[in-house]
Amino acid sequence: MDAKNSPTAAALTITRVFDAPRSLVFKAWTDPKMMARWWGPKYFTAPLVESDARKDGKIRIHMRGPEGTIYPMHGVYREVVEPERLVITHYVEDDKGNIALEVLVTVTFTDQNGKTKLSMQATPVKATPEAAFMLEGMNEGWNQQLDRLAELLPTL
C-alpha cells in the first residue's frame, strides 16, 4: 500500500450528547475564541486558532503539547450548514511543514430536546509513514478533545 496516496486507517466515528443547545455547540466548533478553549487533547493548548467557517473558508490551528511542541494543522471548510453540519478537510503538518496527514472530518449536530447529539466521523485520506503515531492516537485524542468541549459548554 502506498501510504502517501491511500487511506491508512478506518474512519473513526464518535457520537456524544452534550447538555447544551445545538446553536451553542455549533458555535463552539466554529468560533476561534471558543475553539481555543477546548481544541486539542488533554493537557494541550491551542495558542493559534483561525477559523473562517464558510464554504471554502480556511481553518488554522496550532496545538501545543504539554512538552511545548507545536503541532500545526490547517484545512478547508468543505461544507457549512449552520447549525446542522460541518465538513472540514484537516491537513496535519510534520516538523518540516510538509503535509503528513489529511483527514476528512464530518460533524453533524442534531437537536434532542434542548441537548445536542453530535456525530463526528474522521476519515484518514492520505498519510505519510511519519504520521503513524497521529493515526494511532486519533481515537484517544478526539475523545479527550470532546471531553474538554463537554467541560467547557456549561461555562459558556
Structural domains of the chain, ranges and CATH numbers in brackets: 12-155 (3.30.530.20)
Place of cell 453533524: 108
Query: Which of these, 28, 32, 78, 71, lies nearest to 54 by C-alpha position?
Result: 78
Choose the weakest-confidence range: 24-28, 136-140, 148-152: 136-140
d(CA 139, CA 104): 14
pTM: 0.91
- Phi, psi for residue 33 in degrees, rounded to 5: -65, -40
For residue 141, pLDDT over 90 is answered with yes
Q: What is the pLDDT of residue 97?
A: 85
Q: What is the pLDDT of residue 5?
A: 43
Q: What is the pLDDT of residues 3-25, one digit of tens each?
A: 444 455 789 999 999 999 999 99
Q: What is the pLDDT of residues 39-56, one digit of tens each?
A: 999 999 999 999 999 999
Cell of residue 149, nine digits: 468541549
Q: What is the pLDDT of residues 79-138, one digit of tens each?
A: 999 999 999 999 998 888 899 999 999 999 999 999 999 999 999 999 999 888 889 999
Q: What is the pLDDT of residue 4?
A: 43
